[in-house]
């Protein structure tokens, strides 16, 4: 509109409409998004909030790994050692896993819109409470509440996203993955900057307020049921053995990738501090390096999302899995600035797998069961994630470095490679109508229920 105003061709009605939209969205959108908001459909509006929720989910879980570098100080309330403070996050990740399991059941009773509101406000207020914690016990309780409310997003938000995306969910899942990893990437760099300028408490307080504010904005968005759109085209009948094979891989990879993903994002700031800088005044440099490394993962998820709409899942999953193990071994021994590109390669492999794994459910599980399967899958995955904080803390405290941790993660990465080899490679994934010719099929709903 600004370009049209400069050319003298804008109408008064256009200006009035534009100003009206800006008044309603100033707190959420800026720049190009403001000018495009009028053209947003109910589906794209919902997906914008789902993507924002994904960013806040990962951001909220990763404030502590960088904030701890400022919290650990001689004579401080929480001690001067990295390991014991990180161990206080164990409850957060345990509840992050346990909390995901009942979400499908709760959604059937209260609705997805209410649950997503609870996610935004509950996670935001829990971060605010963390900022005011005055003892290790209070910090552990506040972090636990953060994990409990953050657990809402993945089973609910991912199911909403896949339903809204239609027959080719890869691109939507890839874009959503970019937003999630934007939270992973921003958490260390923003936390490092804020903690350096205003203290570690502000690093929890500011994102908490922002998250709760987005939740209030979500209440004003009219509900749009994407299940009406998906019902226009029935889900194909898929042979039961293939469904069971896919589900086995899905659940096994959930445990392993949950541990590897979470452990890597937790240890990255400390790893970069060990290899690049150990002085407190260089904390922003560590945050910036972590941001650059994680950005590789975000970009990979977008690329993988586009690829899996054009080819089978295995043909993307296998090359990514092959990269992971040698990259983790390499980062165990890397020193100096070489650790940054290697960390980027690890992030690309780990985060790229996430997009593949979420698309597995979309291609092999019927819409009626997706929310429940996502709940079970993320519960299983977060059990692995819950083990990451004590694993990182214990091995780092015992050995004095993170080399042992990354070598253990490399061993788990070999399980991921085995899952990629076992996963089916079927052209019917891209042409669902061909499943009718595969023979021996039953509905995915029955196969999954068995």
User: Domain of 381?
Assistant: 41-449
What is the pLDDT, as a whole number, of residue 144? 94
Task: Find all residues with CB under 8 Å of 122, minimum gap 6, and list them.
Answer: 145, 148, 149, 152
Q: How many residues does the structure list for the chain?
A: 450
Helix axes 153-165, 42-61, angle to 10 degrees: 150
| φ, ψ of residue 151 in degrees (nearest 5) | -65, -20
Q: Is 82 inside a domain boundary?
A: yes
Tracing tokens 């707190």 back to the chain, one arrives at 27
CATH number at residue 443: 1.20.1250.20
Q: Is 15 inside a domain boundary?
A: no
Q: Is 33 inside a domain boundary?
A: no
Helix axes 153-165, 103-110, angle to 10 degrees: 70
What is the pLDDT, as a whole number, of residue 127? 96
What is the pLDDT, as a whole number, of residue 8? 43
Q: For 33-71, how does the pLDDT look when each residue is reduced to its tens digit (9 = 90+)?
A: 445 545 567 777 888 899 999 999 999 998 998 888 888
Q: For 3-14, how does the pLDDT look when each residue is reduced to its tens digit (9 = 90+)?
A: 443 344 444 444
Q: Is 264 inside a domain boundary?
A: yes
Q: Is 24 inside a domain boundary?
A: no
For residues 384 and 258, the answer to whether their CB atoms sit within 8 Å is: yes
Share of the chain above pLDDT 70, in %: 82
* Distance, CA of 271 to CA of 264 (rounded, Å): 9
* Distance, CA of 240 to CA of 267 (rounded, Å): 40
Least confident of 197-211, 316-330, 366-380, 429-443: 429-443
DSSP 170-206: HHHHHHHHHHHHHHHHHHHHHHHHHHHHH-HHHHHHH
Q: Is 6 inside a domain boundary?
A: no
- Look at 342 and 226; give whichever has higher pLDDT: 342
Tokens representing residue 413 in the block: 């990465």
Q: Is 34 inside a domain boundary?
A: no
* Segment 99-117 mean pLDDT: 86
The count of structural domains within the chain is 1
3-class secondary structure per residue, 355-412: HHHHHHHHHHCCHHHHHHHHHHHHHHHHHHHHCHHHHHHHHHHHHCCCHHHHHHHHHH
Q: Is 5 inside a domain boundary?
A: no
What is the pLDDT, as a whole number, of residue 168? 67
């Amino acid at each position: 509109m600004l370009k049209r105003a400069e050319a003298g061709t804008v109408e008064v009605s256009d200006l009035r409409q534009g100003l009206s939209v800006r008044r309603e969205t100033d707190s959420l959108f800026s720049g190009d998004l403001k000018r495009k908001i009028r053209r947003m459909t109910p589906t794209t509006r919902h997906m914008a909030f789902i993507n924002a929720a994904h960013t806040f989910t990962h951001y909220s879980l990763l404030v502590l790994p960088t904030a701890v570098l400022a919290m650990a100080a001689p004579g401080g309330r929480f001690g001067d050692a990295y390991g014991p403070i990180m161990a206080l996050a164990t409850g957060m990740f345990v509840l992050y896993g346990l909390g995901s399991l009942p979400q499908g059941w709760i959604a059937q009773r209260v609705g997805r819109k209410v649950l997503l509101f609870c996610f935004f406000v509950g996670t935001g207020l829990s971060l605010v409470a963390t900022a005011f914690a005055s003892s290790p016990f209070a910090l552990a309780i506040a972090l636990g509440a953060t994990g409990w409310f953050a657990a809402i997003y993945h089973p609910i938000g991912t199911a909403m996203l896949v339903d809204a995306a239609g027959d080719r969910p890869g691109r939507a899942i890839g874009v959503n993955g970019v937003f999630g990893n934007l939270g992973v990437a921003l958490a260390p760099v923003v936390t490092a900057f804020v903690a350096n300028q205003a203290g570690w408490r502000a690093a929890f307080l500011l994102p908490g307020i922002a998250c709760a504010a987005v939740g209030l904005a979500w209440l004003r968005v009219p509900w749009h049921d994407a299940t009406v759109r998906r019902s226009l085209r029935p889900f194909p009948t898929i042979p039961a053995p293939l469904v069971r094979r896919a589900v086995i891989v899905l659940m096994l990879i959930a445990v392993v990738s949950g541990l590897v993903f979470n452990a890597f994002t937790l240890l990255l700031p400390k790893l970069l501090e060990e290899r690049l800088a150990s002085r407190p005044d260089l904390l922003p440099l560590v945050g910036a390096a972590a941001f650059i490394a994680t950005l590789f993962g975000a970009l990979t998820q977008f690329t993988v999302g586009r690829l899996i709409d054009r080819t089978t899942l295995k043909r993307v999953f296998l090359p990514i899995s092959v990269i992971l193990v040698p990259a983790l071994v390499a980062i165990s021994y890397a020193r100096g600035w070489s650790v940054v590109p290697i960390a980027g390669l690890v992030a690309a492999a780990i985060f790229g797998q996430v997009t593949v794994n979420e698309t597995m459910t979309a291609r092999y599980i019927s819409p009626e069961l997706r929310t429940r399967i996502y709940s079970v899958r993320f519960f299983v995955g977060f059990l692995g994630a819950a083990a990451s904080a004590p694993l990182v803390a214990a091995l780092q405290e015992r050995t004095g470095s993170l080399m042992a941790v990354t070598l253990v993660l490399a061993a788990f990465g070999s399980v991921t490679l085995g899952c990629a080899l076992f996963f089916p490679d079927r052209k019917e994934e891209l042409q669902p109508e061909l499943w009718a010719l595969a023979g021996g099929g039953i509905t995915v709903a029955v196969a999954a229920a068995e």
